[in-house]
Structure 1
Amino acid sequence: MIALWDTTATEVVKALAAERHSSGGLTSGLALNLVVIVDEKGEREAEAALTHAAQQHPCRLLIVVRRDHEQTAPRLDAEIVVGGRLGPCEAVVMRVYGPLVEHAESVVMPLLAPDVPVVTCWFVPPPAHTTEDPLGAFADRRITYSARSADPVASLQGRARDYSPGDTDISWTRITYWRSLIASAFDTATAPATAVTIAAKASDPSAVLMSGWLGGRLGVVPTIVDTDVVRDSENLPAIKGVTFTLADGHEIAIDRDAEGNTLLRRTGFPDRTQTIKGRTLGELLAEELRHLDPDQPYEQALGNATGHLKPAASS
């Protein structure tokens, strides 16, 4: 580990090359560049999540920790870790101060490993325009977390207006298990759905994206019934249940209790139980990094939920 205080991007590049050489690091073994923006209070959580993700995806990890915005003079403190506490990756933790908070790309871009994709992830409220943001403009994939915005639903509206292929949101990743349960429940469906009701916290972006996804897949407009939801993790969507009314009068319902146990009820079939536990931020991020192609189901769900995009064909 190398620590540099009040340094420059040039010195960080030199120190990273020296540390890689001494540790036997090979750029050709990297799958991607992962640029993560986090505030000081979220640094510890971010490092834990990124350590988990790096174990599955060899990467050059560039963490931008935004500190004192009010400081008048720009300052950069950097910590270089190769194969250390942040897992099997090449990591640079950059703590930026003052005007450098708004111009962090000037220290990030020289550190990008060549010839591998760039993923930019905001663990803070995302910028108004991710594709125009200096840290998002050069990325092949942009991952936001709208649930951490002051107004998550308004943030989704911004994501829709600003959408570009390669965008996705952790709030979408949170409903992977729900989507799998619903898809398996419809394996025995006897008729198409005519009505869908989602019991959820209406301000939860995952519930809004669930509504958009179901609307696109089933050709109906789901109703969200605003409900208080007890969650065992921030990374679990605030969804209590989903009920489907079929054209033949049959019903499919999935309900989740506070402990994460789900009950699947289908007309004419025995009830079935399953557990949905909240995943860690690292597990959610690792899932997103498994595919770097445009996320067409997310695009369609986002468009249907907000009315800003035309539905796209997806599988």
Structure 2
Amino acid sequence: MIVDMPATSTQQLNRKLVELREQSGVMAQGRVLTFVVVTDDSANTEEAIEEAIEASRAHPCRVIVLVRGAKKAAARLDAQIRVGGDAGASEVIVLRGYGPLSSAEACAGMTIPMLLPDAPVVAWWPGVPPAVPAEDPVGRLAGRRITDAAVEKHPLRALEQRTASYTTGDTDLAWTRLTLWRALLASALDQPPYDSITSVVVDGEPDSPSTDLLASWLASRLSVPVKRTKVGAVGGMHSVRLNRHSGPIELIRADGKTGSLTQPGQPDRLVHLARRPIRDCLAEELRRLDTDEIFHDSLNALQEITRGRAPAGAKR
């Protein structure tokens, strides 16, 4: 069910929510958090709503979508409520503010009456986020704040901004996309022989923030020299080589979908390593609401990696 409420107010919206709750019974029961999505009024708004709805299937929640409309317009609030099959496992409230109601302060003010009582708040900016998310009026309401450096015009500069502005509760989908890579590399190190890693080479697309974060993660965890090299053949991450005296561990994703893991004394393995959908990354972040200290350490280690050309004869 989709209910449109043009030129409305938060008071009228709350009354409508109560009315729908009485009609549908358990619409607002069992919600574990409030998920706030902040976006501009564009063609990508509906896509962001759908990603949030899909992520909510693993974490039933109230989704509040704040759409910033035209600034040079008369003050007006258009709202929409989605419940039932149109909202997945959540209830979706879309608030589209125009004129003065499109400001960050107004968005936060409209959000407060809609928050579930005594439930965590997670905020997500599908596009370009505030310079300091934790100081944004909406960001101050949230205990967890999700950004995505990969969607910005200069992704690597965005990572530098994330490092400078980091506050407990911040995370980025460029980091979440690395979960499978990190798990495979960690499990490979648990296999014999147990030689120490002497150096690391991480190869990937020139403007891939995930490649930089994987390199800095390895630098922070292993305390060895890490070189970040660049290829243009595939999008995002390409390969990781962990050098040691008994022979290297190599994880290579040549086609952007399937990874090949090789290491001495072990049979080669083919693993699924396709780019993770946004909905899967969001579901993972909604599952973890505590501080991600390893992400913070990896941001701080970005300055420790060196950059250069890929080694001669490297697999592509």
Give yes or no for TM over 0.5.
Answer: yes
Give me the whole-angstrom Cα distance separating, in 2, the residues matched to 1:196 and 1:202: 17
User: Does structure 1 conserve the Cα–Cα contact (< 8 Å) formed by 2:238 and 2:256?
Assistant: no
CA displacement, residues 213-244 of structure 1 (integer Å, 9 cap, x when unaligned)? 1011110231111111424xxxxxx0110111
Please state whether the residue corresponding to 1:34 is helix, strand or coil: strand
Report the counterpart of residue 82 of structure 2 in structure 1.
81
Q: How many residues were matched structurally?
A: 299
Q: Which residue of 1 aligns with 2:143?
A: 140
Residue 249 of structure 1: how far off its partner (Å): 4.8
Q: Is the 8 A contact 2:205 2:234 kept in 1?
A: no
- Residue 240 (structure 2) aligned to one of 231, 239, 242: 242
Instruction: Map 1:300-311 onto structure 2 (within 5 A).
Output: 300-306=297-303
1:159 aligns with 2:162: yes
User: 2-side partners of 1:129 and 1:293: how far apart?
Assistant: 19
- The 1:91/1:306 distance shift into structure 2, 3 A limit, reads farther
Partner secondary structure for residue 70 of structure 2:
coil
Post-superposition shift, 1:26? 5.6
Contact 1:264 1:273 in 2 (8 A): yes
Amino acid at match of 2:35: L
Which deviates more from structure 2 when the two are superposed, residues 164-173 or residues 74-83?
74-83
Question: Equivalent residue for 2:56?
Answer: 54
Give the structure 2 partner of residue 207 of structure 1.
211
Partner of 1:111: 114
Alignment of 1:1-315 (within 5 A): 1-25=2-26, 27-39=28-40, 40-69=42-71, 71-102=72-103, 103-188=106-191, 189-231=193-235, 238-246=236-244, 248-306=245-303
8 Å CA contact 2:251–2:260 kept in 1: the answer is yes
The C-alpha deviation readout for 1:18-76, integer Å capped at 9, x for no partner, is: 2222211364511000001123221221122112111111111101122323x232221
Q: Secondary structure at the match of 2:123?
A: strand
Residue by residue, what CA displacement relative to the aligned partner does 1:171-217 show, whole Å, maximum 9, x if unpaired?
10001111111111112243111111111123211111111110111
Spell out, residue by residue over 1:2-23, the C-alpha distance to the aligned partner (whole angstroms, 9 max, x if none). Answer: 2111112222222222222221
Shift of 1:259: 4.9
Query: Which whole-Å deviations, capped at 9, do the CAs of 1:225-269 have from their partners, x for residues lacking one?
Result: 1111424xxxxxx011011111x2521111112151211121333
Which residue in 2 is equivalent to 1:311? none
Q: Secondary structure at the match of 1:126?
A: coil
| Cα deviation digits, residues 102-140 of structure 1 (max 9, x gap) | 131121111111100000111011110111101101111
Question: 2:122–2:145: 8 Å Cα contact kept in structure 1?
Answer: yes
The unaligned stretches of length 5 or more in structure 2 are 305-316
- Decide whether the 8 Å contact of 1:157 with 1:306 is kept in 2: no
Q: Distance in 1 between matches of 2:142 and 2:167?
A: 11
Q: Which amino acid aligns with 1:198?
A: V
TM-score when normalising by structure 1:
0.90
The answer to whether the 8 A contact 1:66-1:95 is kept is yes
Provide the TM-score with structure 2 as the length reference: 0.90
Instruction: Verify the 8 A CA contact 2:246 2:264 in the aligned structure 1.
Output: no
Is 1:63–1:91's contact at 8 Å kept on the other side of the alignment?
Answer: yes
The answer (yes or no) to whether the contact 1:192–1:218 under 8 Å persists in 2 is no
Q: Give 2:65's aligned amino acid.
A: I
Determine the C-alpha separation between the residues in 2 that align with 1:72 and 1:148: 28
8 Å contact kept, 2:150–2:209: yes
Which letter maps to 2:81?
A: I
Q: Which runs of 5+ in 1 are unaligned?
A: 232-237, 308-315
Structure 2 Cα separation of the partners of residues 92 and 7 of structure 1: 13
Q: Percentage identity across aligned positions?
A: 35
